[in-house]
A and B are shown apart, each in its own frame.
Chain A
Amino acid sequence: MGYTFLSSQTASTSTSIDFTSGIDGTYDEYLFTIVNYKPVTDPDQICWQVDTGTNTSYNQTITSTSFYMGTNDTGSWTDFAYHTGGDQAEGTALQRLSYGGEGTVDPSLTSSGELRLYAPSSSTYMKHFTSENNLIYNSSGNRANTTMHIAGYVNTTTALTRLRFAARTGNIATGTFTLYGVS
Chain B
Amino acid sequence: MATKAEHITALKAKHSSLTRLVNGVKETLSPSEYEATIDGWATNSAARDARNEIIANGGASADYASFRTDPMVDGSYPSIPDQLDKLYHDITDGKLDETGSWYLAVKATKDKFTKP
Chain A binding site: helix, strand, loop or mixed by DSSP? loop
Q: Is A169 in contact with B44, judged by CB distance below 8 angstroms?
A: yes
Chain B residues lying within 8 Å of A15, measured Cβ to Cβ, are 18-20, 29, 37
Instruction: Give the chain A neighbours of B29 by CB distance below 8 A.
Output: 15
- A84 partner, pick from B19, B21, B45, B66, beta carbons under 8 A: B66
Interface size on B, residues (CB 8 A): 20
What string of 1s and 0s marks CB contacts (under 8 Å) between B15-28 and chain A? 10011111110100
Contact B20 A19 (CB under 8 A): no
Q: How far is the CB of A99 from chain B (nearest CB, A)?
A: 9
Contact B23–A20 (Cβ < 8 Å): yes
Measured between beta carbons, the chain A residues less than 8 angstroms from B20 are 14-18
Q: Is the CB of A21 within 8 A of B44?
A: no
Chain B residues positioned under 8 Å from A17 (CB to CB) = 20-21
Interface string of A1-14 (1 = CB under 8 A from B): 00000011101111
Q: Are B72 and A79 in contact (CB under 8 A)?
A: yes
Cβ B19 vs Cβ A7 within 8 A:
no
Cα(A7)–Cα(B20), bound, Å: 16
**Could you say which of A19, A41, A84, A171 contacts B23, with CB atoms under 8 Å apart?**
A19
Contact B44 A18, beta carbon cutoff 8 Å: no
Interface assignment of B48: CB less than 8 Å from any CB of chain A: yes
Q: How far is the CB of B7 from chain A (nearest CB, A)?
A: 9
B71 within 8 Å of A by Cβ?
Answer: yes
Taking a contact as CB atoms under 8 Å apart, the answer to whether B21 and A171 are in contact is no
Output the least CB separation between B51 and chain A (Å). Answer: 10
| Residues of chain B within 8 A of A7, CB atoms compared | 23-24
Residues of B within 8 A of A13 (CB): 19
| B41 adjacent to A20 (CB under 8 Å) | no
**Are the CB atoms of B22 and A18 closer together than 8 Å?**
yes
Binding site for A on B (CB under 8 A): 15, 18-24, 26, 29, 37, 40-41, 44-45, 48, 66, 70-72
18 A-B contacts, Cβ less than 8 Å apart?
A: A7-B24, A8-B24, A9-B23, A13-B19, A14-B19, A15-B29, A16-B20, A18-B20, A18-B21, A20-B22, A20-B23, A21-B23, A81-B70, A84-B70, A168-B44, A169-B41, A169-B48, A171-B18
The 3 closest A-B pairs by CB, nearest first: A16-B20, A18-B22, A169-B44
Q: A7-B24, A15-B18, A21-B23 are in contact. List 5 more A-B contacts (CB 8 A).
A: A7-B23, A11-B21, A18-B21, A81-B70, A171-B18
